[in-house]
Structure 1
């Protein structure tokens, strides 16, 4: 593996410590990294495919990164865990909204706000950001006179 990625000092410290002290398990952060900043470091390393999830809330440095940074691969775990995908919650707000949009009658912004507790601008932002840009979903909308705009996910045909 060619490690020509740009890593922050913190990311490099976390990876190096994991390789040298905890057999690749990420469980240490510099003293100044607290709370949400720790999660951001984990997310950045995960998105760069330098670590993988290994159980509940446990992340490990992948074998190729260990070797590239001078460590030894841990023979007690599989060589590659690239098939691991983050678990998705069936009861998440995003899943609830997608279920509402998948109904034949669709959903209005006020209905989604009532279900999720979100404000209207958050609902519309989720449509544009998470659903359209990240998930690539096409959301249709229809406005009839005297009622709220109805949003739907087009039905997928089984042809």
Structure 2
């Protein structure tokens, strides 16, 4: 079991009781250099993480990022485990269109161009770039960026491409 200081235990316990496991505000009396040192050590150990603050929802700020936005602190699964709380398991990766609010997992909204793109790529025959352009109205470079960024990095989907006999390059979501 992870050995925690009293301050770390207080921060993690308070965060675990808040919606979204937000670790802010920090305990009274912990500010300035002491707060920065405590938070830095906890981030290094993977007990908390810095996440974008939703100012519209009133998330407390840890620090401002200089672009009118800020970050807050969230207790990680490792942080919950360190104080004896069993984290909730993640849903299966193929459950993309659900609303998983507590886990901050990105979702694709039905009826959007991204949803059309996913449906075309999930089809057994896959889709060529020309089909994807016609369906979305996007240019080829925008589609390649969406496939790599939104689908690959944010949603965690694996998109493959292959040159098929008598057909242009075909893109598919691997199952």
What's the TM-score bracket when you normalise by the shorter of the two chains? 0.3 to 0.5
Q: Which has the higher strand share?
A: 2
Q: Normalised by the size of structure 2, how large is the TM-score?
A: 0.43
Q: Normalised by the size of structure 1, how large is the TM-score?
A: 0.47
